[in-house]
Homo-oligomer: A and B are copies of this chain.
Amino acid sequence: MAILGAGMIGEVHRRAALLAGAEIVGVMASTPERSAAVATAWGVEQAYGSIDDVLASDVEIAHICTPNSSHVPYATALMESGKHVLCEKPLGVGLADARHAAEVAERTGMVNTMPFAYRFHPMVRELRARVQSAEFGAVNLMHGSYLQDWLLNPRATSWRVDPAAGGPSRAFGDIGSHWCDLVEWVTGDRIAELVSTTSITVKQRPAATAASFSAVASDAPLIDVTTEDSALIMFRTAKDVAGSAVISQLSAGRKNRLWIEVDGMHQSAVFDQEQPERLWIGEDTASHLLVRDPNQGSAEQRRLATLPAGHAQGYAQCFEAYVADSYAAVDAYQGRGEVPDGLPTFTDGARAAAICDAMLRSAVSRTWVTVEG
């Protein structure tokens, strides 16, 4: 397989691929010279000068870790040439882009996956199994938040603040998309219509670009910010269940608090990504804390629980499982085994784009809008 993009996230893919037993045969970086340098550093054979070199090669699988605007052109070209793709989020920078990629994926039938990595926390699998069980009862409410604080400093900035590089939605597009993907996947229900409100609290930030999650402030000249610091949505689902989510990158002390509560007619359940080893289950008579455990719980939780209970797994294992399951899907394509459950695909990427599009429309129109897709 080959990795396109040799930045921090390319390195993350390389590590997970290595653990999955993949052979990395080539790499494409930002320039032919840089490709050659990285190929040497990584000890891989091929250094691709361009996407055409990759398309012409005989690699079967490509990881796309390049800037957002190239995700869809690369992914569609790769699939059209018969290659399987693992493509970083987001699926392009707009709804049309994402739908196009999903259509090509559908038509070509190549394996196409995206790292909605939180689906791979074993306790998210447990949450899904519980919420969809008879003991849980019909869902009557879904709510939560996804809070970070890395942009709290008015002088903090990142390429994600720039709509040309990161897309027209920032907080929602980046992290709200994960929240919506999880709540839909966990409940098996879909957000049908929503109303939103967004805030740009820090009106100007430095123009300089910086890597995500950097806490280092910039001294660059200030420019107007046009992407939201926080976005709130309220929604109703296809099954007419109400829901609410609070998305913000300005919540001091919240590092990556993706928090979901689903309330059923017999039980409630909470998953908090900052404490991913456990699940809270509420009942009228008591509440219960379930811990990740290869010897307990749902089949999917056990499958992804690779360490004994009490020996914490974390984000790295999520990503490793995403890559391993993507490769298992390729194996299944080639006739070996089954496609693993719960792999996020381009269809999910297009769905995220549709919800983001609806959120942006409602923030402008100040009305309830229908999610189209």
Contact = CB atoms under 8 A, between A and B. Distances in A.
Interface of A: 15, 18-19, 138, 140-141, 143, 145, 147-149, 152-154, 195-199, 201, 213-215, 229-230, 232-234, 236, 240-244, 246, 248, 250-257, 261, 263-268, 273-277, 280-291, 293, 295-296, 307-317, 366-368
A267 to B, nearest CB: 5
A200 to B, nearest CB: 10
A312 B310 contact: no
A257 B215 contact: no
Contact of A253 (B233, B250, B284): B284
B282 A290 contact: no
A274 B274 contact: no
Contact of A252 (B243, B268, B295): B268
Nearest to A241: B199
Nearest to A198: B242
Nearest to A274: B310
A208 B265 CA distance: 21
Contact of A317 (B273, B286, B314): B314
B244 A149 contact: no
B265 A152 contact: yes
B253 A309 contact: no
Contact of A310 (B195, B248, B256, B317): B256
How many identical subunits does the complex contain?
A: 4
A296 B147 CA distance: 19
A246 B286 CA distance: 22
29 contacts: A15-B19, A18-B18, A18-B19, A19-B19, A138-B201, A140-B199, A141-B199, A141-B230, A147-B263, A152-B265, A197-B234, A234-B234, A234-B244, A244-B244, A244-B246, A250-B263, A252-B263, A252-B283, A253-B267, A253-B280, A253-B286, A256-B311, A274-B291, A287-B289, A307-B314, A311-B314, A312-B315, A314-B314, A314-B317
B143 A246 contact: yes
A265 B287 contact: no
A79 B154 CA distance: 52
A44 to B, nearest CB: 14
A57 to B, nearest CB: 23
A284 B246 contact: no
Nearest to A137: B252
A230 B242 contact: yes
Contacts of A255: 291, 293, 308-310
A281 B253 contact: yes
Contact of A232 (B15, B234, B253): B234
A316 B19 CA distance: 12
Contacts of A263: 147, 248, 250-252
A316 B313 contact: yes
Contacts of A308: 213, 255-256
A368 to B, nearest CB: 5
A164 B105 CA distance: 57
A292 to B, nearest CB: 9
